[in-house]
Structure 1
């Protein structure tokens, strides 16, 4: 009932332990606190909060228009509603080193288990679009050093994302990833790898966990979790998938409503009232309310 009873510190410990495990963690992307609950109910390892999703929820493109306050608020709302560890997209850190430090502390206070900071120029672009640019190595590593220095809980996972592959090729991406690890990154988000061989090359070159982004309609093929595990990937995210599925369903429902004047045809594919009440623990709230209402103080 209400919020998660698992502390942020325990969630961070769980995340770190999972990254050190031999299996591959799977973090679907939540676009609301309720979807985070559903991800937990379905048995996944954790919850991802995508910067693209947060921007799109506001009706904005993913070009660096969201603010730290918006991201920290939404990440905190999602993290509070699940016992799972939450990894959040912190874009470029919302500025340069001092801004990055503030970003880390704000997201740490929001209760996330980890965050990633990328090496694109600010403002950034979606990692699977053309036309993006990256900063030089000194700027990229400076962001990670600032993030590592700013965290107060040493268990908070600081992940570095590199977008160099799409601009300068795989070898440059490996070199950049190594430099980011040397700067203190706990893990690497290797964006827009072309094939499994490239994921394997990144994993083989590093001694820290590597994340793979399996986003639909992107630069990377949609490999299975087993395929990625076999080449050494430690973690997979599906950042926008649930929002895309939900928006597709909403669009079809609106078409049916406009055409038929009723949603009767869509009811079989809807979440039922009983399923929703179970997900939000309606009975737990009722029990709590009844206990408070019936409470008496003996004289």
Structure 2
């Protein structure tokens, strides 16, 4: 699919009646595996990107250039329509415009811009939100910067957990009126909160984190959620697999006796060997 087709596919998910769980991906191969498994969408979280590029925790030390470069590798590799966590947009509203330009060019289907005060300011650690006017300016800037109208711009707020439902609804309403395509929330504690956000905005809701026991995708869909994250377990699983493999080799296990390796057919499929073999036949005389 082209970038526009992937964006249209993501919009179809938001417009549909169900709620999907995106695949958490971090490189070209993980994106291809997600596509092979039939995931409707994929997501690159900010914490995952920081780990993949820097081996660092999610303290907003990754640069926009590094983020966009990683995204390009994922989208060109054939991942499902990709939603990315663009954090605070790497600065003020002008920086948000640059962020949208770069990530649109990198092939994302959708991106979130959040109203959390980032990076962490000096002083005691506490999550704080931007003033509504500043958060709204960022969403307006993001919308103004896109050139492909099918690119999905999602306003993200942490207000449910920080300032409460009333403020979350007020912020989501303002972002919706500005033209945001969806609302991404974290800290969901009750499906009634989804109902309030949906009633106030009329927009599809994307759920980043929620209290345990609220129900699965079918339940969330009934309350207006269209995308619900399941965390980012794939990258930690990959780290553990690398550790176990290197540890076994270090301790003397022969390569042929290693556990957990994919079979040859899977490796060939994930690296699209048939495609390259055909190109060699067609263009290299063999």
TM-score by length of 2: 0.90
CA 1:228/1:258 → structure 2, altered by over 3 Å: closer, same or farther? farther
**3-state SS, counterpart of residue 172 of structure 2:** helix
Matched, 1:115 2:111: yes
**Match for residue 278 of structure 2?**
287
Task: Verify the 8 A CA contact 2:34 2:79 in the aligned structure 1.
Answer: no
Structure 2 CA distance for partners of 1:256 and 1:191, relative to 1, 3 Å? same
Paired residues, number: 281
Let me know the Cα RMSD of the aligned residues.
2.2
Determine which of 224, 227, 241 is the counterpart of 1:249. 241
Map 1:55-66 to 2 at 5 A.
Answer: 55-57=50-52, 58-66=54-62
Q: 2:76 aligns with which of 63, 77, 80?
A: 80
Q: Residue by residue, what CA displacement relative to the aligned partner does 1:135-158 show, whole Å, maximum 9, x if unpaired?
A: 010000000000001111111100
- Corresponding residue of 1:155: 150
SS at structure 2 position matched to 1:92: coil
When residues 264 and 204 of structure 1 are mapped into structure 2, their CA distance, relative to the original with a 3 A threshold, is: farther
The CA deviation at 1:41 is 0.4
Please show how residues 11-160 of structure 1 align to structure 2 within 5 Å. Answer: 11-57=6-52, 58-82=54-78, 84-123=80-119, 131-160=126-155
- State how far apart, in whole Å, the 2-side matches of 1:174 and 1:258 are: 54
Deviation at 1:179, TM superposition (A): 1.3
Does residue 1:276 correspond to 2:272, yes or no?
Answer: no
Shift of 1:266: 5.0
**Hey, what does 1:3 align to over in structure 2?**
none
Evaluate the alpha carbon distance shift between residue 197 and residue 257 of structure 1 in structure 2; reply closer, same or farther with a 3 A threshold.
farther
The residue matched to 2:229 in structure 1 has which SS?
strand
State which of 216, 222, 230 in structure 2 corresponds to 1:230: 222
Q: Distance in 2 between matches of 1:67 and 1:211?
A: 25
The CA deviation at 1:30 is: 0.4
Deviation per CA, 1:27-55: give whole Å up to 9, x if none. 11101111000000000101111111011
Q: 2: distance between equivalents of 1:285 and 1:86? A: 24
2:183 to 178, 185, 188: 188
Look up the SS of the partner of 1:203 in the other structure: helix
- Change in CA separation of 1:294 and 1:26 when aligned onto 2, cut-off 3 Å: same
Once the two structures are overlaid, the 10-residue window that deviates more, 145-154 or 178-187, is 178-187
Q: Distance in 2 between matches of 1:23 and 1:160?
A: 20
**For structure 1, which runs of at least 5 residues remain unmatched after alignment?**
1-5
Deviation at 1:76, TM superposition (A): 1.3
Q: Deviation string for 1:163-194 (max 9, x for gaps)?
A: 11221112221211111111221100011212
Structure 1 distance, partners of 2:177, 2:233, is: 33
CA distance in 1, matches of 2:156, 2:280: 46
